[in-house]
Amino acid sequence: MKSFIRVAVLLLYIAVWASNVPAQTWPQFRGPQGSGVSDSVVPTTWSNDQNLAWKTPLLGPGASSPVVFGDRVFLTAYSGYGESIEDPGDRANLRLHVLCISLSSGDVLWDKTFEPSPEEQPIGKRVAEHGYASPTSCVDSENVYSYFGPSGVIALTHEGELLWRKNVGTNTVGFGAAASPIEFENLVIMNASIESGSLYALEKATGEVVWQADEIDKAWTTPTIVTLSDGSRELIVNQQNAILGLDPRTGQRLWTCSAVEDYVVPAIIADGETLYCSAGRSNKTFVVKAGGRGDVSESHLIWDVSRGANVTTPVLHGGYLFWSHDKAIALCLRASDGEEVFRERLPTRSRVYASIVGDREKLFLTTRDEGIVVIAAKPQYEQLAINELGDEGELFNATPAIIGDRLLVRSDAALYCIQTTK
């Protein structure tokens, strides 16, 4: 009897311990808090023959990044139309996909297909740069939430059961949709600036609108949640002319700070209450302290410089801001004052659309057509490797994901899992 009790106590202890171990997650665009940085270490070099754990062909292209919860990788794609601008096919055949792939094996666990909205714009040169599956999904312990611009937000369980689909606007401009959803408490928060000029908070369980904030202007950017020193939370959105701080539970506008007079694509990087905000064709960066009230343009602006990036989002690593600049430049600024530390040309003539990510030691700069450049995470430019994957002509627009000792890289044809292999 005593032996039975000891075994029961041991099993209970193991169960409690296991319940407190968080599942490995990369839950949204650029991972936890959108920082783009992982505390783990992944391989420095890889190829089609080295440190490639698996490769999974995809049924269609897309520029969205993978997100991960436990052993499940979630990804969006499109098929049937617009895969080639030279031979786009019949628009009536366009289909949107949410896929679930096993992290451990690369097997496709399920693929859910959806018809697009009639308002999806026809293929053209600018749309073809990214296609119809650019926003990155977000995932929590139960569901995955994906956005397809004018085709709406789609919520699925981890098993692929459709929970709801919500339209948040059908306008289209230029390159199409780009902003990715984020989750906060019981809400999915979606920047639909391009589609409707609004920011939406949708109830996770039903898709019903909990609040809506209007007058969100020319912002393709993914919003950011920050935690202040007093424990309160703010929702930060960077848009044309202003950085906005809102209450994430109500959508109430708390403060504004004058900023770049142009459209905004990069996401904000937060270091506690300090917000690094870059945008516009002028490549300006504004650094603002969160937590103010009203117009904080003078009281909370820390510094601003004419350095940054028009499209891509930086990482903050060791007191420095690093970019994989959309004009094919590796850029480093000192975070304390914006002083430029280095600027180096990347080995491509193409625009760069993937944002930089990093592990504990190094940074990964994805080019569309010349591989991923790996540099040391320090304020001196030190190239460690250039790694190429796939076949000739494969394009890499998506920002990679880091999950434990794995790097997930997505092209327009396949998803690759980079891991040290024997």
pTM reported for the whole predicted model: 0.93
Q: Has residue 240 been placed in a domain?
A: no
pLDDT value, residue 279: 86
State the total domains in the chain. 1
Give the CB-side neighbour count of residue 405, counting CA atoms within 13 A.
8
Q: Has residue 275 been placed in a domain?
A: no
pLDDT value, residue 95: 97
Q: Has residue 115 been placed in a domain?
A: yes
Q: CA of 375: how far to CAs of 79, 251, 318, 344, 381, in Å? A: 35, 40, 14, 11, 7
pLDDT greater at residue 301 or residue 173: 301
Two structure tokens written together for 267? 């996401």
Q: Has residue 362 been placed in a domain?
A: no
Provide the 8-state DSSP code for 254.
E
Q: Has residue 178 been placed in a domain?
A: yes
Q: Is pLDDT above 70 for 14?
A: no
**Please, is 125 exposed, middle or buried when counting C-beta atoms within 10 Å of its C-beta (0-12, 13-18, 19+)?**
exposed
**Euclidean distance between CA atoms 169 and 197, whole angstroms:** 8
User: Domain range holding 114?
Assistant: 25-30+62-216
pLDDT value, residue 16: 34
* CATH code of the domain covering residue 195: 2.40.128.630
Question: What's the whole-number mean pLDDT along residues 222-234?
Answer: 96
pLDDT value, residue 179: 97
| Structural contact between residues 251 and 212, judged by C-beta atoms closer than 8 angstroms | yes
pLDDT band at 23 (very low <50, low <70, confident <90, very high): low
Q: Has residue 360 been placed in a domain?
A: no
Q: Has residue 244 been placed in a domain?
A: no
Q: Has residue 157 been placed in a domain?
A: yes
pLDDT value, residue 421: 86
